[in-house]
Amino acid sequence: MRLVTRLLLLIALPLGALAYGVSHQIKQAGAAVTTPTKPKATTTTTSTTVPLVQNMVKPPLHDPALDRRMASFFAGLRDYNNAEADKAFLPMPSYVVIKQGGGNEADWNNRLITHYHQQLAELRARFRSVLPGAVYNGYSVKSATAHTVRVGTEQNKAPYWQVYMTTMAFKDKSGHPHNFVINTMISFRGAWYVVHVIGYG
């Protein structure tokens, strides 16, 4: 019996060692295998800026966009908020497209918008006693004054429509009516914009 047991042990030990060796080699081989990763695809986008181009579409006497701009003009006038009133003013990029020569951005910043703000201050002084609590009551574009301005007429490299004496109306907090005139508006791409409130045209 002891002899049989010893024989079994002698057979079992080499088989166990062999099994361990095979298992260890399989683990090492598995650890050495790596799954290749695909490089991430990269995409490039090219942004294109479409330049502003003037057209000679005649602006309507009323449209929702102009209604909003004129309401903002009055709100900015009443509330001493130039930034709000500026929403009705000819934007600087549009001015650059229209006017001849160089330095038009600086001219818009240093002269045109500055004069506009000075004219707003004049209107506020004129209506000082009735502006607080005033209610906007609409505008009227004087269509009979609308005309085209050809290239070179007003140092302009692009033509535009121009209109004079647009009337803006409001009521004071007591309900009394008042009005004033916006001297000059010009067109850019079929829309009216204020350029001079007082003293031009």
Helices then strands, each counted (H, E), the chain: 6, 5
Residue whose token pair is 């057979």: 11
Domain range list for the chain: 64-196
Distance CA 26, CA 20 (A): 10
Average pLDDT, the chain: 84
Domain 64-196 coded CATH 3.10.450: yes
pLDDT the model gives residue 136: 99
Chain centroid to CA 108 = 19
Helix (H) or strand (E) holding 195: strand 191-196
Question: Residues 8-67: pLDDT tens digits?
Answer: 444 444 444 444 444 444 345 444 444 555 556 555 555 456 678 999 999 999 999 999
Distance CA 156, CA 63 (A): 26
Closest CA to 76 of 21, 129, 117: 117
